[in-house]
Amino acid sequence: MKSVTGMSFRSRCRQAGPAGLVFVLAVSLQAGNIGKDWGVERKSYVDPVTGVRVWELTKGTNAANNLYFHFSNFTADNRHLIFISNRTGSWQLFRAEVETGRLVQLTDDPQVNASAACPDHTNARRLYHLRGAEVIALDILDFTSRKVGEIPQPHMGGFQQPTLSGDGKWLALGKQRDASNWEIGLMSTETGEYRTVLTQGFRIGHVQHSPTDPLVFYVWETGGYAPQRTWLVNTDGTGNRPFYARTAPTNWFTPLKEWVTHEAWVKDTGEMTMINDKLGVMLVNKNGDARLVCEGDLWHAAARPDGKFIVADDNKGRLWLIETATGNKRLLATGIRDSVRTVHAHPSFDRLGRYVQFHTGRTQETVAIIDLRELPPADWTK
């Protein structure tokens, strides 16, 4: 049994009594680096091409990465940015205070799937993450946690990153059932109840609960062109149908086969941003109708909560701000892939539309923020 402050756990329990036992258990559960204050490491630079100031949040040779871009990586009160780092030897969850840059470690467990985490947009202190098949709710301020529930058998891994319903009462989850079948399920954040939404005989990816409607989005994941990539299903399991689908070549935006990828809900409107590969970024409504917002060889895109702006990156390591009403785009940052070519920026906005955050490998693999209120003047007509 591990010791706590130089005395065996059993000895401390015998001496402490019931009240002390509660305290010792809390200390034991929070042993290691949970709650460790890593100080302030951020530094800024001015992009030599755009003149925009960029803040990198971590330093050193250890890598830091963001969560996936299909929801905001910020807490509900916009106070903290959630990210992951391998600085302790395994990927763990951290919070960065936006105002000060102070870094605090949230987990210290090699079984935690740190990248499969989801901030609760209804509770600024709550973060959901996976530990194997277990769904955990973590308080990011006092570091206490509770097991919400467990993804039931059958499963052979392949768990999807959880996403929350608009009211915060349900988590949409995905799993691989066996060698040939995948499943989408919903779990109650209050009781841990799990119910199956649907199963499919192909690999499911990018499972996302709609922020505005009782719908779940998912894709037929092939790693490339899929005959029908995007799908919607009602949360009660009915109405499974293709989502964005232009089956007739005469309706394609381009004479080439359309390759749609990297989809993300728009929080307030219930639309989705989608990248039409080699062509540009689209906005797609709930009926599957799409409009091409901005042309360009873009890679990942996410909208501001109100849908009026989109932040997107490209394969050349550049970050763009796009106005959806006009299609005008402004270059924010360059060199994102200069030293770490494998970096995917996966950019997204904060909860209020003031900041964009992204994964960067300009000089090291870290997470960066741009404060849009500090942008130098620009002519949108250029």
Domains recognised in the chain with CATH numbers: 1-31 (no CATH), 32-374 (2.130.10.10)
| Confidence band for 23, pLDDT divided at 50, 70 and 90 | very low
Q: What is the mean pLDDT of residues 285-305?
A: 95
Long-range contacts of 28-34 (CB under 8 A, 24+ apart): 28/2, 28/4, 30/143, 31/2, 31/4, 31/108, 32/108, 33/88, 33/92, 33/105, 33/108, 34/105, 34/106, 34/107, 34/108, 34/143
Q: Would you state the pLDDT for residue 248?
A: 60
Q: Would you state the pLDDT for residue 29?
A: 46
Q: Which two tokens stand for residue 62?
A: 């250890």
Query: Lowest mean pLDDT: which of 22-36, 45-59, 175-189?
Result: 22-36
* pLDDT for residue 102 is more than 50: yes
User: What is the per-residue pLDDT across 135-181, written as a single tens digit (0 to 9) for each?
Assistant: 999 999 999 999 999 999 999 988 999 999 999 999 999 999 999 99
Q: Would you state the pLDDT for residue 11?
A: 38
CA-closest candidate to residue 159, choices 198, 131, 180: 131
Q: Would you state the pLDDT for residue 5?
A: 34
| Confidence band for 252, pLDDT divided at 50, 70 and 90 | low
Q: Would you state the pLDDT for residue 157?
A: 81
* pLDDT for residue 16 is more than 90: no
* Tokens 């799937």, residue located: 113
| DSSP-assigned beta bridge partners for residue 373 | none
* Tokens 């693999």, residue located: 365
Average pLDDT over the chain, rounded to an integer? 90
Query: Lowest mean pLDDT: which of 10-19, 52-61, 85-94, 273-282?
Result: 10-19
In contact, 315 and 291? CB cutoff 8 Å: no
* pLDDT for residue 20 is more than 80: no
* Tokens 């706590």, residue located: 4
Q: Which two tokens stand for residue 242?
A: 């293709």
